[in-house]
Chains A and B, each alone.
Chain A
């Protein structure tokens, strides 16, 4: 019998027109590692919360959930607390106490475990997770990745048999995210804990999983192993196909319907390379394959803004964060600054925005192009957390309050408001409280807020963090529309190299307080081996200059784009 069984589970929120979950039937075996994915608002969180009675939202539920043969509703509260672990998105807000050791002990205290037993369990859990080094720290000094690992460790201390993670890595940088997921896999492999993880970013997690579930509008539209999920989604014409890891997409796109249920797809870069190599040996590669030409960058263009030999440090005695950084931002371009954590990316953005002043070096802004004749515009920065901006009770009031910053007459402003609302697709959200919307929606509202002032240069700090694959594409389209229609220039700082490779006009690598390389994405990413897109890593030495899946496909079969 299945460990976790969902029998015709449906759920509706109060006052909702459509059910959040409809008629889910699902059996999950003990010890499996399941990835749950789907676009924002598809019901992932709702489903996970149904599996944890303490967190189940109020609403109307039909159908049954059984855990190890018992109805979940009949599980005593104590057992439900210890047997089912739940990790939330935000690493920071789910930490309860202020000391690491106390956080590890907190759940055990709640369960009434004796002090000596707690000491033992805390010791073993700290050893298993390798957190001895920061065991004596206050929680506030930890990095985001360490915090999320602490949350995981604190939950594992009560030895749950089922671990539910609701987008646990959405707030983490790629290295911390990979570390978290590997730890989950280690728990799954070595302890046998059943794990269900919901995720937006599938590249790393899918290869680790036994099974992938795809939800759309509360329905289960696909349920397969990672090796077969690609073909299923392709056959279902699901937009979620775009979110799958590169090797799977490459395989499914090349094999098409033939592959459904027959040949397993490669899920890792290694398997992807092997597959591509085999494919190539049976086919002649067109060396002169017509690669989609990149948009030519105008070499003679005058920069909108340039940083020249910029040095910056936060405090007099602190080390330099920027060490002679040079950067030119050209008008009408989407410039992406990539690089790992703590290399000075966000600092650079703040210097461009004028929020920080370098202690040496020059920041040259082309006032004519930046301010223009309208008297407004200038530079606007969209922070990582859009909730830092919202001051009003409804989205409508929020946007209206930004209007005085827009130029022109009252009618022009009203026109501007309705244009921006349309562009950012937030018409349906206008009467909601800005804190009651989802992360992706909050991002769009914040973007609308920023755009109302008609900036000439838009700065984005990690804009794709927490966005689903489908919205990412729409977001890229929106950016390019704004660039084309309004002559906007965009600088974004990002860890999302896949996004930058596809959508940026120019990529800059920030390392050790300098811009180490700056080029259009194709030469930029084709030139790198480690810090580059998965498609590049798969095709390195096999397809020249291919940095996206469509490049590889184009190289293999001339004339048939993805």
Chain B
């Protein structure tokens, strides 16, 4: 099960992995720079392959690519800014810049959705709640309780439906009963629909009453175990280890370089009205600018491939440890 993935990158402290995803997704979504987007798509795609396997990733891409194509097409169709006109559709100009911007948006969409796919594998619900339980304890507990209730309610919904059918309060019993033939088909059908609606009403109302009543027990159980006393602490199921500190330091260093390059405008992208890359901070000498650009590309590239490297490192370490046994 991919959902149980727990090695390599996923074994980092959840605060580190959540921070990582926020950073990478943020940069990918906010900065439509072609080089950065390429790194981002590549990193997310390889990670996705590692975490979810080839088949599942292919299925994901099969859904993603058409979506990306639509996103790429929409922009030049409705956005007529841009200086280089390359054609006309329906009397409106299509510009090269708008086309490129559409392509960048499509890459951004793909990168973002791929990263979120990886996020959903790495940052499981309990990791999310463990991190936020320290910041917003009541809300995190509420979500945790709600998530426990949902599968119970769905199970109960099934049980209620079965119980109602067992009692003869089901739509089938109307048509099956000997009196059923008396009605022409249309009436029977309408009666059936009405009956079905009435039944789903009954089922929902039972579920609601039951859910609210049994929650009374939950509240009692919480109260009995001292919920609401002042000075509540938060259990940290995940330990912050030296490995986490190292990973965090690496992430922050890369992030710092990228952010300096972005905020100074040394690395930037503008598509409309004309395509202009890396134009900011014109006052800097060319060498310094080029160095910063190279560093920023390298740093973001490393950042995007970081989880992949973690996974690879674990795989190699595992093989070595196996072979030395």
Identify the A interface with B (CB < 8 A): 52, 54-55, 77-78, 81-82, 85-86, 88, 90, 92-99, 101-102, 105-115, 118-119, 122, 138-140, 151, 154-155, 158, 350, 353, 355, 371, 375, 378, 380-383, 385, 387-391, 402, 405, 435, 449-450, 453, 455, 459
Q: Nearest-CB distance from B125 to chain A (Å)?
A: 8
Residues 140-154 of B contacting A (Cβ, < 8 Å): 141, 144-145, 147-148, 151-152
Instruction: Determine if B233 and A115 form an interchain contact, defined as CB atoms under 8 angstroms apart.
Output: yes
In the complex, A375 Cα to B177 Cα: how many Å? 8
Q: Nearest-CB distance from B16 to chain A (Å)?
A: 18
In the complex, A115 Cα to B134 Cα: how many Å? 11
Instruction: Determine if B225 and A355 form an interchain contact, defined as CB atoms under 8 angstroms apart.
Output: no
Q: Which of B144, B215, B221 contacts A88 (CB 8 A)?
A: B221
Residue of A with least CB distance to B204: A391
**Per-residue 0/1 for B138-175: is the Cβ within 8 Å of any A Cβ (1 yes, 0 no)?**
00010011011001100010011011111111000000
Asked if B313 CB lies within 8 Å of chain A CBs, one says no
In the complex, A108 Cα to B229 Cα: how many Å? 11
Q: Which of B169, B215, B225, B236 contacts A107 (CB 8 A)?
A: B225
Q: Which of B152, B179, B206, B232 contacts A390 (CB 8 A)?
A: B206
Please name all residues of chain A whose beta carbon is closer than 8 Å to the beta carbon of B227 when the two chains form the complex: 96, 106, 110
Instruction: Determine if A453 and B237 form an interchain contact, defined as CB atoms under 8 angstroms apart.
Output: no
The answer to whether residues A97 and B226 also contact, given A380-B166, A450-B167 and a CB cut-off of 8 A, is no
Q: Nearest-CB distance from A265 to chain B (Å)?
A: 36
In the complex, A455 Cα to B179 Cα: how many Å? 17
Asked if B324 CB lies within 8 Å of chain A CBs, one says no
Q: Which of A95, A102, A353 contacts B235 (CB 8 A)?
A: A102
The answer to whether residues A435 and B224 also contact, given A97-B144, A381-B166 and a CB cut-off of 8 A, is no
Instruction: Determine if A459 and B166 form an interchain contact, defined as CB atoms under 8 angstroms apart.
Output: yes
Residue of A with least CB distance to B169: A405
Residues 228-243 of B contacting A (Cβ, < 8 Å): 228-237
Residue of B with least CB distance to A377: B168
Residue of B with least CB distance to A353: B166
- How many A-B contacts if CB must be within 8 Å? 168
Instruction: Determine if B229 and A383 form an interchain contact, defined as CB atoms under 8 angstroms apart.
Output: no
Instruction: Determine if B225 and A112 form an interchain contact, defined as CB atoms under 8 angstroms apart.
Output: no
Instruction: Determine if A113 and B237 form an interchain contact, defined as CB atoms under 8 angstroms apart.
Output: no
9 A-B pairs within 8 Å (CB atoms) are namely: A93-B221, A111-B226, A115-B236, A140-B151, A154-B225, A380-B167, A388-B159, A390-B206, A453-B168
Residues 3-18 of B contacting A (Cβ, < 8 Å): none
Q: Nearest-CB distance from B139 to chain A (Å)?
A: 14
In the complex, A89 Cα to B230 Cα: how many Å? 28
The answer to whether residues A110 and B144 also contact, given A102-B126, A383-B166, A388-B160 and a CB cut-off of 8 A, is no
Asked if B218 CB lies within 8 Å of chain A CBs, one says yes
Residue of A with least CB distance to B162: A355
Please name all residues of chain B whose beta carbon is closer than 8 Å to the beta carbon of A55 when the two chains form the complex: 220, 223-224
Instruction: Determine if A93 and B214 form an interchain contact, defined as CB atoms under 8 angstroms apart.
Output: yes
Instruction: Determine if A155 and B225 form an interchain contact, defined as CB atoms under 8 angstroms apart.
Output: yes
In the complex, A158 Cα to B202 Cα: how many Å? 42
Please name all residues of chain A whose beta carbon is closer than 8 Å to the beta carbon of B215 when the two chains form the complex: 93
Please name all residues of chain A whose beta carbon is closer than 8 Å to the beta carbon of B277 when the two chains form the complex: none
Known: A350-B166, A383-B162, A405-B169. 17 other contacts (CB 8 A): A81-B229, A97-B141, A97-B144, A98-B125, A102-B126, A106-B227, A107-B225, A110-B222, A110-B227, A111-B226, A112-B229, A112-B233, A139-B148, A355-B165, A381-B163, A385-B159, A388-B164
In the complex, A325 Cα to B209 Cα: how many Å? 38
The answer to whether residues A110 and B236 also contact, given A92-B152, A388-B163 and a CB cut-off of 8 A, is no
Instruction: Determine if B178 and A375 form an interchain contact, defined as CB atoms under 8 angstroms apart.
Output: yes
Q: Nearest-CB distance from B22 to chain A (Å)?
A: 24
Please name all residues of chain A whose beta carbon is closer than 8 Å to the beta carbon of B232 when the two chains form the complex: 109-110, 112
Q: Nearest-CB distance from A153 to chain B (Å)?
A: 12
In the complex, A105 Cα to B235 Cα: how many Å? 7
In the complex, A326 Cα to B220 Cα: how many Å? 46
The answer to whether residues A115 and B234 also contact, given A88-B220, A154-B225 and a CB cut-off of 8 A, is yes
Instruction: Determine if B159 and A383 form an interchain contact, defined as CB atoms under 8 angstroms apart.
Output: yes
The answer to whether residues A383 and B179 also contact, given A55-B220, A98-B144 and a CB cut-off of 8 A, is no
Asked if B205 CB lies within 8 Å of chain A CBs, one says yes
Residue of B with least CB distance to A94: B221
Please name all residues of chain A whose beta carbon is closer than 8 Å to the beta carbon of B156 when the two chains form the complex: 388
Q: Nearest-CB distance from A438 to chain B (Å)?
A: 13
Please name all residues of chain A whose beta carbon is closer than 8 Å to the beta carbon of B202 when the two chains form the complex: 391
**Per-residue 0/1 for B70-88: is the Cβ within 8 Å of any A Cβ (1 yes, 0 no)?**
0000000000000000000
Instruction: Determine if B144 and A102 form an interchain contact, defined as CB atoms under 8 angstroms apart.
Output: yes
Instruction: Determine if B152 and A54 form an interchain contact, defined as CB atoms under 8 angstroms apart.
Output: no
Q: Which of B164, B168, B169, B218 contacts A378 (CB 8 A)?
A: B168
The answer to whether residues A110 and B177 also contact, given A118-B235, A453-B168 and a CB cut-off of 8 A, is no
In the complex, A93 Cα to B224 Cα: how many Å? 13
Please name all residues of chain B whose beta carbon is closer than 8 Å to the beta carbon of A382 when the two chains form the complex: 166
Please name all residues of chain A whose beta carbon is closer than 8 Å to the beta carbon of B237 when the two chains form the complex: 101-102, 105
Please name all residues of chain B whose beta carbon is closer than 8 Å to the beta carbon of A459 when the two chains form the complex: 166
In the complex, A77 Cα to B231 Cα: how many Å? 13
Instruction: Determine if B225 and A158 form an interchain contact, defined as CB atoms under 8 angstroms apart.
Output: yes
The answer to whether residues A110 and B165 also contact, given A97-B148, A98-B144, A102-B237 and a CB cut-off of 8 A, is no
In the complex, A355 Cα to B158 Cα: how many Å? 12
Give 5 closest A-B pairs by Cβ, nearest first.
A81-B226, A381-B166, A94-B221, A98-B148, A93-B217
In the complex, A158 Cα to B229 Cα: how many Å? 14
In the complex, A389 Cα to B205 Cα: how many Å? 10
Instruction: Determine if B148 and A78 form an interchain contact, defined as CB atoms under 8 angstroms apart.
Output: no
Please name all residues of chain A whose beta carbon is closer than 8 Å to the beta carbon of B144 when the two chains form the complex: 96-99, 102
Asked if B183 CB lies within 8 Å of chain A CBs, one says no
Q: Nearest-CB distance from A110 to chain B (Å)?
A: 4
Q: Nearest-CB distance from A83 to chain B (Å)?
A: 10
Instruction: Determine if A78 and B126 form an interchain contact, defined as CB atoms under 8 angstroms apart.
Output: no
In the complex, A362 Cα to B268 Cα: how many Å? 74
Q: Nearest-CB distance from B52 to chain A (Å)?
A: 21
Q: Nearest-CB distance from A436 to chain B (Å)?
A: 9
Instruction: Determine if A388 and B206 form an interchain contact, defined as CB atoms under 8 angstroms apart.
Output: yes
Instruction: Determine if B213 and A435 form an interchain contact, defined as CB atoms under 8 angstroms apart.
Output: yes
The answer to whether residues A82 and B148 also contact, given A99-B126, A112-B232, A115-B236 and a CB cut-off of 8 A, is no
In the complex, A459 Cα to B165 Cα: how many Å? 13
Residue of A with least CB distance to B224: A86
**Per-residue 0/1 for B180-197: is the Cβ within 8 Å of any A Cβ (1 yes, 0 no)?**
000000000000000000
Please name all residues of chain A whose beta carbon is closer than 8 Å to the beta carbon of B230 when the two chains form the complex: 112
Residue of A with least CB distance to B145: A96
Residues 50-79 of B contacting A (Cβ, < 8 Å): none
Q: Which of B141, B147, B162, B214 contacts A92 (CB 8 A)?
A: B214
Instruction: Determine if B166 and A118 form an interchain contact, defined as CB atoms under 8 angstroms apart.
Output: no
In the complex, A118 Cα to B234 Cα: how many Å? 9
Instruction: Determine if B148 and A95 form an interchain contact, defined as CB atoms under 8 angstroms apart.
Output: yes
Instruction: Determine if B163 and A383 form an interchain contact, defined as CB atoms under 8 angstroms apart.
Output: yes
Please name all residues of chain A whose beta carbon is closer than 8 Å to the beta carbon of B165 when the two chains form the complex: 355
Instruction: Determine if B179 and A375 form an interchain contact, defined as CB atoms under 8 angstroms apart.
Output: yes
Q: Which of A78, A94, A109, A154 contacts B233 (CB 8 A)?
A: A109
Residue of B with least CB distance to A139: B148
In the complex, A385 Cα to B213 Cα: how many Å? 14
Q: Which of A86, A158, A355, A371 contacts B166 (CB 8 A)?
A: A355
The answer to whether residues A96 and B218 also contact, given A81-B225, A375-B179, A378-B168 and a CB cut-off of 8 A, is yes
Instruction: Determine if B163 and A140 form an interchain contact, defined as CB atoms under 8 angstroms apart.
Output: no
Instruction: Determine if B231 and A112 form an interchain contact, defined as CB atoms under 8 angstroms apart.
Output: yes
Residue of B with least CB distance to A433: B209
Residue of B with least CB distance to A356: B162
Residues 277-305 of B contacting A (Cβ, < 8 Å): none
Please name all residues of chain B whose beta carbon is closer than 8 Å to the beta carbon of A109 when the two chains form the complex: 232-235
Instruction: Determine if B226 and A82 form an interchain contact, defined as CB atoms under 8 angstroms apart.
Output: yes
